[in-house]
Amino acid sequence: MSIILGPNRYGKAETRLVRVVRDGGVHHIKDVNVGSSLSGDMEAVHLTGSNASVLPTDTQKNTAYAFARKHGIDQIEDFALLLARHYVGSQPAIHHARVEIEEYSWSRIPVSGDRGESGKQHSFVRDGAEVRTCVVHHDRDGRTTVVSGLTDLVVLNSTGSEFHGYIVDEYTTLQPTTDRILATAVSAQWRHTGDDSDFGPSYREVRTCLLEAFAETHSLSLQQTLYEMGKRVLNTRDEVCEIRFAMPNKHHFLVDLSPFGLDNDNEVFHAADRPYGLIEGTVLRADAPDAGFAWE
């Protein structure tokens, strides 16, 4: 029986990094989680244990910290590109680098000048559950892909959503409705046509497209809403060629208040956390370039 080594990669996962920029009394904070994965001439380390081609994962962690100090962190996509190109360009044994970054947002806490703190802005509060993400791939052939995204963007429409006309069999108990709450936590990843987008404004505009399409679509299904959100992004943002979604249906069930002598005209709901429907889908341009390794 012949046995061979299959695809493999290694790296440092979840390097937590906080970068503070001090501009006098005004501070700026960047809070990120960096993961790197490298692949290339790695047969020897697997087959014989030779580490001659291995860049230690501890070195990858240190590189993220050092680059944060040397280069700063503005847009996470640019920082990921910087790291990925460094790994491939500096190490002959490394043919491909994948860098994934999550960013956690913070907002300033205003400080009263009455307490003698005027001009000092160094207090922050963490913003909600939404997380900005990116994944960058770069290889020695010069191929590069950038995928931006977000997770846990929680949205809700209190009306303007229906669900009916579905398959009914002997196990179906769900009742059709023409007025329901539609809620989800959007996870979306969108692929750029190149690696030179202005990533900050692009992220903000894509996020706006997602929110506007969700709010403006009279939904007959969460699948329809997903498609309209993706279509809005592609019709609005030329730098995006493909977008992928995972959207759990956060069910809200009308509570039966009749045992208490009360009616319930779509006012009181039970918010169920599980089980939930999970809707996933991709919307892309018909002429989108091949995704290659973008989603790996």
Q: Which residues are catalytic?
A: 12, 57, 251
Helix or strand or coil: residue 60?
Answer: helix
Q: Which residue has the tokens 């001659």?
A: 52
Residue 43 neighbours by CB under 8 Å, 6+ apart: 5
CA 47/CA 37 separation, integer angstroms: 20
CA dihedral 91, 92, 98, 103 (to 10 degrees): 20
Phi, psi of 35 (to 5 degrees): -125, 135
Residue positions counted in the chain: 296
Helix or strand or coil: residue 11?
Answer: strand
SS (H, E, C) 13-44: EEEEEEEEEEECCEEEEEEEEEEEEEEECCHH
Q: Which residue has the tokens 């809200």?
A: 252
